[in-house]
Every structure is written in structure tokens, then in C-alpha cells.
Structure 1
Amino acid sequence: MIQGSLLSVPSNYFDGSISPTWRNGCNLRFISLNHNRLQGQVPHSLANCSMLEFIDFGENQLNDSFPSWLGNLPELRVLILRSNGFYGALRKFGTGKFSALQIIDLSQNKFTGDLPTAYFEMWDAMKIIKTSYMTYMGESDIYPGSFPFFAYENYDYSIIMNNKGLRLEYLKIPSTLAAMDFSYNRFEGTIPNVIGNLIALHLLNLSNNMLTGHIPSSLAKMKELECLDLSNNRLSGQVPLQLSELTSLSSFNVSWNHLSGPVPQGKQFDTFDSSSYTGNSGLCGAFLENKCGLETFPLTPSTVTKDEDSRFGSSFKFNWMIVLIGYIGGLIVGVVAGNEVTKRKHD
């Protein structure tokens, strides 16, 4: 369907390549060509469509490196490249920042290399939590006091994403939704701490890659996070106890890694069963096969404070005991010495 600034022809089994003839001044805002048999590359002429907000090329047979030049589109909010033949590292070229990007799905491709720290630092729209009244992407951006006849035509944007282990279709996309799915690729290296600055994310899926190192505690800053999937990687170390502060979390999966130590407890984490941790023989917890001994439980901040106070109190008491013993010892020595002197005087 082509309607004004919209191009939507999903699930029609079209083959061939995407039209390369998008001219300067193109007013396209929405393009969805998902679930076809399209081949080739993403045409560079799309850079002429500076009003583009939504691109869905998912589930085709495209064979290309990451189209970093799309980062120059100032309005781009949704980029779906899922299930194609995209390959190579996510390197940043040029000045493109994807600064308006809220949803990116690169799952089921052949991307390699490290996770794109440079992009994580620039994806500003994922760093801002929107608390405005409920609107949906594609609806007219009409605010109280504005004039409706200045608005664009309405068209509800919709997407399909993996959420909580299921493929779910969002018939309407809330304007507040932010999501990142890099699953089923060949990413390696560590999860950078800077990813924790993307505090607006609701969904983060890095599963089925070759990621190593520790789970960064900076993820605890992502208070909007509802779904976190880090399963089927090579992560090691402990599951950060700070993650228990993610009170919006409803789905959590770190199965099939090399994690060890106690799992977080309390709040949302009391709702997750052992399947969230399967394949990590070093993990222990109340509902896991391995139970934690007292020595394996790290001190919570409150416990640390109490223990520090206790140690301070013990040290304080101990020091006073030393002073007191010294004082008593000195007193005894003084009395004995005084008696000796008195005796000699009498003699």
C-alpha cells in the first residue's frame, strides 16, 4: 500500500531489490517491506528521505553491511533489519548519530565484532524517559492547544519483536517504547558499562551471541527495563545484586552462561524460577538446585553498614579496654612503687 508519505507492502513475497530511486525531497515517513524475498542492499537514496521515522526491512534476504548512513536521518525512530544476511561490525562512519532512534532490531543476522559503544554513547532518545500522556507512533503529534489541521495523516505503526521469549506483534507502538534486540548474531567482547546510560529501554535482548566478561552493574540504572535477556553467551562472574532494584522487570534470562555465586533476591527476582538460570552450574539460590552457604552471600549495603558500625564499635571498645588496662596497670605499678619508697623511708 502506498499512501502519501507511507509505503507498506509486507508479506507479499516480492523478490528483487529495493527501489534505488528515492529522490531528493522525498516525503516518505514510513516504509515497511518486511517478510518478502527482497535481496541486495539498502539503497543509499533513502538518505534523501529526511522525514523517515520508521524503516522495517525485516525477514528478507538482504545482504549488506550495517547501513550506518541511515544515522543521518534526523527523525528515524524505528529501524528493523531482523532476519536478513547483514554482516560485519557495527562501526560508526561519518556524522550519523541515530539520535532519535528508540527501537532497533538487528536480530538473526551475521553481525560480528564488539557491541557498538560509540553508538550507545550517541543514542540520545534511549537516554530520556518520556512521561507525557499516552500517544502512539504514527499518530498525529497533536498537543493541547495545537491545531489538528497542521498534523500529518494518521497511520498506526506496528512491529513484531521478541519479548519475554515470544514473538509479539505491537499493533500500536507507544511513543514511550524503547527497545534493542541484537540477539542471534556473532557479537563478542564485553558488555560495555555505557549501555547502562540507555535508561529509557524497556527491552534489551543480547542473547545468543559470544559475549564474554561480567554483567555490568550499570544495568541497574535502567529502571524502565521490563525484559532482559543475556542467555546463551559466555558471560562469567556474578549476577549483580543491584539488578534487584529493577522493579519493572517481568522477564529475566541469563541461562547458559558461565555465571557463579548467589542470584539476586527480593522484589521482582522472587518471581523468576530456575529456568532463568539454567546452565550455570556455579550459581546458587533458594530455588536453585545449588543452595548457597552463609559464606557465599555478599553483604547487602545495610549489612555492610551495620557490620562497619559493629567493627567500629568493637574497635572503639577494644581501644578503650587497652587504655583502661594500661591505666589500671600503671596505677598498680604506681601503688607498688609508692609502697616501696614509703618502706625505705621508714627503714
Structure 2
Amino acid sequence: MKEFPNFLQFQDELELLFFYNNKIQGEIPTWFWNNTNENIREVQLGNYFLTGFEQHPDVIPWRSLLILDLSFNRLQGSLPIPPLSTIVYEATGNSLSGEIPPSIICHNSSLKFLDLSNNNLGGTIPQCLPSFSDSLLVVNPSHNNFHGTIPDMTGINLKMIDLSQNQLHGLVPRSLENCTMLEILLLGNNQMEGTFPSWLGALPKLQVLILRSNRFHGAINVSQAKLKFAKLRIIDLSNNGFSGNLPSEYFENWNAMTMVKREKLTYMQASQGVPIGIVNSRSTALTLYTRPYVYSVTMDNKGTHTVYAKIQTAFIAIDLSNNKFGGEIPESLGRLNGLQMLNLSNNSLTGVIPSSLANLTELESLDLSQNLLSGEIPQQLSQLTFLEFLNVSHYCLFFVKKIKKTDQARPIA
């Protein structure tokens, strides 16, 4: 299809409308929004070719709407405001601009998933967010132009917060420690400041923490015994100003990184039951089905900037590159035998490569380049059968040839 079919103007009992992956082009016609259908519950218009609205609907009039998905088009203009019944609102991958109307969050106690990522939105994050965040499970306004500080968030049901790729500054709000259901926190590529927020370690379900490319600084200390990041599996602190020794005490307690579950291929996601079904004069039966929201993350892996559109629950990674860490690589890193990616490059680490890294039997990528390490490359690393990427460039290492006993160790780059 290349245009909206006219017969939709006369469908007064329509409940579900799916237009994914068609070739409908141009503007959404005015009659589409003005349809007086009271039954419509789910509308999905993702197809890459819609450019805007023939007449912009300030507020979408469908009072029973539960799911609105406008993702991956070329929509311009301001955000349309969904009705108060909306549970899922996704508009990622467009060219929408302006600020987030406060009423989208502040007056909608039904909203569970809000994804406005990859647009041209700006202004500040609505300060009313904490007042209604108890209903929200996912908040994703990443890859926009938001500025200012992050408002206090106290949502006890929040599972994912993605504020990455904006212009936010200031400290990580301490109110996040109230978000006890939080599984993934993405704050990368902003202008956040302060020292490492170790208090996040008390969050019992936090699995992914991305603070890359900000202005954090100072040593990473463990101030309280209980703050151990018990469920953490992915952490990226790269491109900051962290200093001091590597956090060996954390390595000794990140037990979730010691669990290997390659045989079970599942993906991280949040789910919400959505009532979709027949509603008319003859029947009011509703069918409850599960609406998943699949988490995604961006990291540098094997020397490449990689977008993980889906995060495998088996993926375990540490990236502490491009900081000011010094001292030796602690032996305790070797206990994290579920690690698939380890990047400690571009620091000031000294000493030798510990042989305990040979215990990382799941390791696929190891980058120790641009440090001050010396000595031999441990022969035990040859036991890492999954290792595809190894970078030990730009420091003074030595290897020993065993063909002749008279051979001396020679430096390699």
C-alpha cells in the first residue's frame, strides 16, 4: 500500500490497526484522526515513509486507545499527545521536534512504556516525572537534544531508564536508589559530573549500567559493604576521568558475572499485560496479552562501535577504557569467568598481565592496549578458545621463544 485506504473512514467497530512495513507515503490524513471510532485500541504505523500530519492532532481523540506506535517514519513537527488511556507510546526513529508536552507524562497514570528516542526533541525532561513514574516501566528519550539536569525519579516500578546521547549535566540523582525494580540504566554520552555513584550498587535488580563518555572523575571506592551491584552483568565506564586502582573489591563480589548460561538464548526485556479484545454491544470480553519491550545498548566491542538491538541474557561485559586508572590488573578479575568482553585499554596500568585471565574461558574480546604493562604474555591465554579479538599494542611486552634455550626474551609492540 502507498496511501491510506479510504474504507478506513467508515470502520466504526475497528479495534486493531497494523500498517507495519508498507509503503504508505506522505502525511497522515486528517480524517484518520477524526474518525469517531470509540473501539480502537491499538494502532501501529511504523513503515519508514510517513512524513507528517495533514492537520496536526494536538490530542489524539481515540479515548480507548491502549497502544500507539509511530516508530521508524520521517514524521516532523511536535509530538501528538495520546489519550489518557494509553499504556504504550512509541515514536522512535522520526524527526519530531519541540519539547515533551508535560501532559504525556504528568496527566497519564496509565502509561507504562514511553519511547521517544532518536528524534530532534529538546528542552528539559519534564520535572513532573517523579509524580507519575510509579506507573512507568520504561522511559527512553535517548538520542535527542535534552539539556538540564535529570529530575528526581522515585518510580518503584521503573525497569529501564535510557537518557543517553543528550546534553544532560549535573549529578546522577540520588532518588534513583528508590527505583528498586531498575534493571538497566543508560546515561552515556552526556555531560554528567561527579564521582562514581557507588550507591547504585544497592539496587537489587540492576544488570546494565552505562556511564560512558561523561565527565565523571575520581577513584572508584566501595564505601559500604552492602553496595556490591549483586546482579550487574554489563558495565561501561569508558571515556571519563576515573582514576586510582581498578576496583578489585567489586570484582570479588560481582557474582552475576561468574554465571555462564550460553545454552539458554533469551533477551532482556520488560513486559506488560495489555487488554486487547472485542468490545461492542454483544460482548465485552477482553484478551490479556503480553506486550514486550526489548532492551538495547551500544558498546565498543572487538574494536567496533556496536549496537546491540537485543541484549542476550548471557552477555557479560566490562569496559573501563579511556580513563586514568593506574596500578596493576588485579588477580580477582580472573574469577569473573562469564565475561565475554573485557576492555581496559587507554589507561596507565602497570605490572604484568595476570595469568588468572586464563580463567575467563568465555572471553571473546580482550583489549589491554595503550597502557604501561610489561613482561610476558601469559602462555595460559592460549587456552581461551573463544577469543577472537586480542589487542596488546603500544606497550612493552616480552615473549619467550622455546625453540632454543639460548634465545632471549624480545620486546613486541
* TM-score under structure 1 length normalisation: 0.72
SS for the counterpart of 1:118 is helix
Distance 1:152 1:258, change over 3 A: farther
SS for the counterpart of 2:298 is strand
Q: 1:114 maps to which residue?
A: 245
Contact 1:11 1:36 in 2 (8 A): yes
Distance (whole Å) between structure 1 residues aligned to residue 396 and residue 265 of structure 2 = 41
- What amino acid maps onto 2:325 in structure 1? F
Post-superposition Cα deviations, 1:46-97, rounded to whole Å, max 9, x if no partner, equal: 0010000000000000011000000000000000000000000010012211
Match of 1:160 among 266, 275, 298: 298
Contact 2:328 2:349 in 1 (8 A): yes
Q: Tell me which protein shows more strand as a share of its residues.
A: 2
Let me know the Cα RMSD of the aligned residues. 2.2
- What amino acid maps onto 1:37 in structure 2? Q
- Corresponding position: 1:252 with 2:386: no
Q: 1:88 maps to which residue?
A: 218
Match of 2:338 among 200, 223, 248: 200
Distance (whole Å) between structure 1 residues aligned to residue 344 and residue 290 of structure 2 = 35
Q: 2:159 maps to which residue?
A: 29
Q: 2:171 maps to which residue?
A: 41
Post-superposition Cα deviations, 1:257-315, rounded to whole Å, max 9, x if no partner, equal: 111123xxxxxxxxxxxxxxxxxxxxx79xxxxxx8554489xxxxxxxxxxxxxxxxx
* Structure 1 segments unaligned to the other structure (5+ residues): 142-148, 263-283, 286-291, 299-347
- What amino acid maps onto 2:390 in structure 1? F
- What amino acid maps onto 2:235 in structure 1? I
Distance (whole Å) between structure 2 residues aligned to residue 294 and residue 138 of structure 1 = 56
Match of 1:13 among 145, 150, 153: 145
Q: Tell me which protein shows more helix as a share of its residues.
A: 1
Offset at residue 139 of structure 1 (A)? 5.5
Offset at residue 151 of structure 1 (A)? 9.7
Match of 1:103 among 234, 238, 248: 234
Contact 2:235 2:319 in 1 (8 A): yes
Distance (whole Å) between structure 2 residues aligned to residue 152 and residue 88 of structure 1 = 44
Distance 1:214 1:74, change over 3 A: same
Q: 2:313 maps to which residue?
A: 175
- Corresponding position: 1:76 with 2:206: yes
Offset at residue 220 of structure 1 (A)? 0.3
Distance (whole Å) between structure 2 residues aligned to residue 182 and residue 237 of structure 1 = 22
SS for the counterpart of 1:86 is strand
Post-superposition Cα deviations, 1:13-35, rounded to whole Å, max 9, x if no partner, equal: 10000012x23x62100000100
* Structure 2 segments unaligned to the other structure (5+ residues): 1-89, 91-112, 115-135, 273-286
Report how many aligned residue pairs link the two structures.
Answer: 262
Identity %: 48
Higher relative contact order (CA 8 A, sep 6+): 1
Where does 1:1-347 land on structure 2 (aligned, <5 Å)? 2-3=113-114, 4-20=136-152, 22-23=153-154, 26-94=156-224, 95-138=226-269, 153-262=291-400, 294-296=405-407
Distance (whole Å) between structure 2 residues aligned to residue 240 and residue 156 of structure 1 = 39
Distance 1:297 1:10, change over 3 A: same
SS for the counterpart of 1:71 is helix
Q: Greater CA radius of gyration, 1 or 2?
A: 1
Distance (whole Å) between structure 2 residues aligned to residue 28 and residue 295 of structure 1 = 64
Post-superposition Cα deviations, 1:230-259, rounded to whole Å, max 9, x if no partner, equal: 000000110000000000000000001111
Distance (whole Å) between structure 2 residues aligned to residue 122 and residue 199 of structure 1 = 13
- What amino acid maps onto 2:187 in structure 1? F
Contact 1:261 1:296 in 2 (8 A): no
